[in-house]
């Protein structure tokens, strides 16, 4: 395995580990408990689930794998702060969206050669990429893995349900 392939494999493994940790954490919470705030005045678990689905869904077009699967989530979970005014998908729907988005990403990641990760992502022009080659797909994977880690840390502060 080339050094390039080893680096990519390590990054994809880190991504998969964080996705699994978050899945395991969400599995500890009933749909009702997902409405609880992590701390007074802070995000609710259901909002973070929707936010992570929306952000990770955005990786599909950004990495050149096609359109978002759930574009309707972008405004509610990326452009707006957590609101309890209704109009949100149910927790069950968000859980299903999470599974669907991550299955699509897993399939896409497996189809990529190590060198594909060094290609530009779709939000950078050819001109900019020529002078900024670090604006590549691999950088997106790393930044989104860090994003998962950040919110995982936040969610670890949530009061655990009493069983």
How does residue 162 score in pLDDT terms, banded at 50, 70 and 90?
low
What is the predicted pLDDT for the residue at 85?
A: 64
Give domain limits for the chain: 3-155
Residue 64 has pLDDT above 90, yes or no: yes
Nearest to 145 by CA among 43, 3, 22: 22
- Could you give the residue ranges of the DSSP H alpha helices within the chain? 3-27, 45-57, 59-62, 73-74, 91-110, 126-131, 137-155
Nearest to 136 by CA among 123, 151, 118, 152: 118
What is the predicted pLDDT for the residue at 40?
A: 85
Read off the pLDDT of residues 96-130 as tens digits, 9 standing for 90 and up.
Answer: 999 999 999 999 999 999 999 999 999 999 999 99
Rounded to whole angstroms, how far apart are CA atoms 133 and 119?
A: 8
- Please compute the mean of the pLDDT values over residues 64-70 and round it to a whole number: 98
- Tell me if residue 72 falls in helix, strand or coil: coil
* Owner of token pair 């995982």: 152
What is the predicted pLDDT for the residue at 163?
A: 59
Rounded to whole angstroms, how far apart are CA atoms 142 and 11?
A: 7
User: What CATH topology corresponds to 3-155?
Assistant: 1.20.120
Read off the pLDDT of residues 6-54 as tens digits, 9 standing for 90 and up.
Answer: 999 999 999 999 999 999 999 999 999 999 889 888 899 999 999 999 9
Residue 159 has pLDDT above 90, yes or no: no
Q: In angstroms, what CA-CA distances link 21 with 8, 145, 158?
A: 20, 12, 15
Of 15-29, 43-57, 79-93, 135-149, the poorest mean pLDDT is in 79-93
End-to-end CA distance of the chain: 46
């Amino acid at each position: 395995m080339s050094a390039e392939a080893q680096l990519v494999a390590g990054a994809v493994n880190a991504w998969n580990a964080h996705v699994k940790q978050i899945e395991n954490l969400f599995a500890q919470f009933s749909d009702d408990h997902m409405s609880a705030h992590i701390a007074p005045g802070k995000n609710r678990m259901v909002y973070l689930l929707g936010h992570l689905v929306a952000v990770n869904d955005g990786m599909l077009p950004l990495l050149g794998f096609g359109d978002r699967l759930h574009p309707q989530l972008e405004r509610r979970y990326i452009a707006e702060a957590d609101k309890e005014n209704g109009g949100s998908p149910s927790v069950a729907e968000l859980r299903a969206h999470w599974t669907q988005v991550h299955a699509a990403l897993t399939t896409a990641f497996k189809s990529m050669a190590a060198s594909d990760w060094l290609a530009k992502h779709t939000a950078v022009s050819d001109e900019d990429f020529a002078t900024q080659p670090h604006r590549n797909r691999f950088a997106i994977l790393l930044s989104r893995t860090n994003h998962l880690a950040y919110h995982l840390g936040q969610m670890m502060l949530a009061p655990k349900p009493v069983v």
